[in-house]
Amino acid sequence: MATSLAPKVHNNFIGGEWLESKSGKAIENINPANTAEVVGIFPASDAHDVGHAVDAAQEAFKSWRLTPAPKRAEILYRAAELLVTRKEDYSRDMTREMGKVLAETRGDTQEAIDMTYLMAGEGRRLFGKTTPSELPNKFAMSVRTPVGVTGLITPWNFPIAIPSWKIMPALVAGNTVVIKPAEDTPLSTLNLAQALDEAGLPAGVLNVVFGDGPMAGAALLNNEGVHLVSFTGSTEVGRLVSEACAPSFKKCHLEMGGKNIIIVMDDANIDLAVDGAVWGGFGTTGQRCTAASRVAVHKKVYGEFVEKFTARVKALKVGDGLDPTNEMGPSINEQQLKTVMKYVEIGKEEGAKLVTGGRRLDSGAYARGWFHEPTVFTDCDPGMRIAQEEIFGPVVSVIPFDTFERALEIANGVKYGLSASIYTRNVNLAFQAQRDLETGIVYVNAPTIGAETHLPFGGIKNTGNGHRESGEAALDFYTEWKTVYVDYSDRLQRAQIDNAE
């Protein structure tokens, strides 16, 4: 077991207090770049802790739902201001617990800032609609109402941004929250909760329960006091979340896996496409649901692209994310590293050509971390497992094609549908691609990563279940529509009957 000099012990945040777990058990938060460092010790919570948090959220909902939305928004605005002042500290904490390079964790924190400001603005909007009634002297409108207690389960790869995607729209809409962050990256969610608490969020409106999925996560799903669940993670676990929500008809949002593609046409700016493929494939060590783990390249420019792409990937500097000269950090944990290594062997067995990488880095400066070389396979068949299955690591498969129609077939020939990209100077092809690609997000002349907070985020097929995060679209999940009719005719009027004459 890894050790550290007196790592800080943290508690759950329930009902406005930092409380020890009833389980008495703990989880060590390990630095994936240096497994000898324990970033902190967090509770391994159980159903008792989750139940306590849900009870606190239910009690707080009674008054929070009646707090005017602009007043709720003011608290979010103050939280955003605190996040701005703490951006560097929170980003460094994130690099230590998650591993990605500091430039990326600063972006992660900035996304939380952006989302918090955005949802603060929605506090004076939360628009409904008014519409003419079909009957005289009658007024008709629709308004948004909060759902109740929301249960949020978040992943480790964006440990402050994704919690903000879920927490902020939930709060501004008048819901209360119980969040179970990933056990690999609990500190970032703690930091976000601390900022909201100091901004004046009333006790019990936000509750944080640390722990793993089988104990804390499952208890949150199965608690009858939870009215809505939002989950981001693997498709396999998402299916279990959906099944757990179904018996009680909990409102359920799933954001799951991806096997995203960059299409490089023969008229593309090849240098720009290489830039995009490097960033899309190896940013966050490939540990993004939007990572560009497939690159389909037209045969006319295939040789040039592969040569330039391989050279760039070989030159990537891997190491501790706190070193500003490093460009790629470690895998999040040993299990994920072993998954990457397994798929590298699968790629070799399938006959793909390994042109760079393919090995674990485990000597010298890498000896105490979960590092892997950035890896590229070329001459891949689109049906290969490495081109079909989500690896969630620094492995990219390059696939040749000869026509635009074939490129679309390759792109759409996976079970996921999150993000896709095309590099081309042909405006006609760009518009055909954005129409025909079976994904929730499409980029033109940009990689498959880089979503902005004011636009809907999410996918289709085995990536999502129809809901979206970010932007105004998020409010559709965290609110219910209520239709209101006000009849001031002072007589009985019957819709569809009295107006038929």
| 413: exposed, middle or buried (Cβ count in 10 Å: 0-12, 13-18, 19+) | middle
Gap between the Cα atoms of 458 and 460, Å rounded = 7
CA 307 to chain centre: 33
Is residue 252 annotated as part of the catalytic site, yes or no? Answer: no
One DSSP character per residue, 191-214 reads HHHHHHHHTTPPTTSEEE----II
Residue 18 in contact with residue 208, Cβ under 8 Å? no
| 5-11 LR contacts (CB < 8 Å, sep 24+) | 7/38, 7/39, 7/40, 7/41, 8/40, 8/41, 9/40, 9/41, 10/40, 10/41, 10/42, 10/43, 10/186, 10/187, 10/190, 10/210, 11/43
Catalytic: which of 255, 327, 373, 390? Answer: 255
- Vertex 36: Cα angle to 34 and 39 (nearest 5): 80
- What letter does residue 113 receive in the DSSP assignment? H
Which of 97, 183, 245, 289 does the annotation list as catalytic?
289
Q: Which two tokens stand for residue 85?
A: 């002042």
Strand pairing of 395-401 and 294-298?
parallel
Could you give the CA distance from residue 173 to residue 151 in angstroms, rounded to a whole number? 15
Number of Cβ within 10 Å of residue 313's Cβ equals 23
Residue type, 267: D
Contact in structure between 303 and 358 (CB atoms under 8 Å): no
CA torsion, ordered 91, 96, 97, 101, to nearest 10 deg: 60
Residue 319 phi/psi, 5-degree rounding, is: 170, -165
- Angstrom distance (rounded) from CA 69 to CA 124: 7
Residue 350 falls in the annotated catalytic set: no
Query: How many angstroms separate the Cα of 420 from the Cα of each of 105, 150, 395, 445?
Result: 23, 31, 17, 11
**34-43 and 26-31: which strand pairing?**
antiparallel
> Which residues are known catalytic residues?
255, 289
